[in-house]
Amino acid sequence: MTSENSQLHVVFGRSAAGTLQQALEVAGREGIVVAPYDDFSFGPIDRDDANARAQWVENELGYSDWQKIFEDSLPVLSASMEASKPPIAWISPDSAHSAAGFLWWLSHMADKECQILDVPRLSLLDPESMTEYLDKAEPLSAGRRARSLGLWLQLQAENAPLRILGDAGLMSAPLEHFDAALLEHATPEWQKMARIVAGVLGDFF
């Protein structure tokens, strides 16, 4: 049974969270791994409004019941605030999903101490590789906290449809941002949509 004093790990991606749980088992360590279900790299973020996000996702992406996705993310916040030790946030700096999720999470942490780990391509690591990072977390500095919260406030004010990674980090983008890239991978012959999307994703690695 996991002790209530076990280290809490917050991961911004469900796949990476599952791998981290396996990594803890490989390393023989206790720990609690949590991850928000929502992806704050898209949709409205100007306020914590499950209905607004759900309506946007249904209108723009065609998915229903996103309100539950948002609400299922909230226990991560309560678990983080109640943790007996400073929680460790695992951040993938090359993932807009991870970067935006971290900013959303941090904006709810008030002054609670936390630790951070910047791990490139986090979602691609296997459990053995992930164990190498277990002792590398560092306290979140006051400077980075202030910069991160300032960026989140800016992104909230802009409230763009998308948040992407640019040269200067996370930034707002229009909904049409990826259209040109998608068209580059489209051909006159019929293809599955997933194949076109995979081709675009491959360009980022």
Could you tell me if residue 170 is inside a domain?
no
Residue of 120, 123, 91 whose CA lies nearest to 105: 91
- Residue 5: pLDDT over 90: no
Do 97 and 118 have their domain in common? yes
Could you tell me if residue 77 is inside a domain?
yes
At 175, the pLDDT band (50, 70, 90 cuts) reads confident
Residue 164, C-beta contacts closer than 8 angstroms, at least 6 positions apart: 41, 96, 170, 171, 173, 177
Measured CA to CA, the distance from residue 117 to residue 92 in angstroms comes to 8
pLDDT, mean over the chain = 89
Q: pLDDT for 12-47, tens place per residue?
A: 999 999 999 999 999 999 999 999 999 999 999 999
pLDDT, position 201: 46
Only one residue has tokens 């992406």, namely 61
DSSP character string of 42-103:
BS--SS--HHHHHHHHHHHH----HHHHHHHHHHHHHHHHH-SSPPEEEE-TT-HHHHHHHH
Residue 148 lies in domain = 8-165
How many domains does one find in the chain? Answer: 2
Do 88 and 155 have their domain in common? yes
Higher pLDDT, 173 or 194: 173
- Residue 193: pLDDT over 60: no
Do 91 and 127 have their domain in common? yes
Could you tell me if residue 3 is inside a domain?
no
At 196, the pLDDT band (50, 70, 90 cuts) reads very low
Only one residue has tokens 């030790």, namely 85
Full-model pTM: 0.87
pLDDT, position 171: 96
Do 46 and 114 have their domain in common? yes
State the average pLDDT over residues 195-203: 48
Measured CA to CA, the distance from residue 4 to residue 37 in angstroms comes to 23
Do the Cβ atoms of 115 and 140 come closer than 8 Å? yes
Could you tell me if residue 2 is inside a domain?
no
Measured CA to CA, the distance from residue 96 to residue 90 in angstroms comes to 13
Do 115 and 181 have their domain in common? no
Could you tell me if residue 100 is inside a domain?
yes
Measured CA to CA, the distance from residue 37 to residue 28 in angstroms comes to 27
Measured CA to CA, the distance from residue 169 to residue 5 in angstroms comes to 34
Do 122 and 179 have their domain in common? no
Residue 9, C-beta contacts closer than 8 angstroms, at least 6 positions apart: 17, 20, 24, 31, 32, 33, 34, 87, 88, 90
Do the Cβ atoms of 172 and 158 come closer than 8 Å? yes
Out of 54-68, 122-136, 139-153, 169-183, least confident range: 169-183
Could you tell me if residue 182 is inside a domain?
yes
Q: pLDDT for 35-86, tens place per residue?
A: 999 999 999 999 999 999 999 999 998 989 999 999 999 999 999 999 999 9
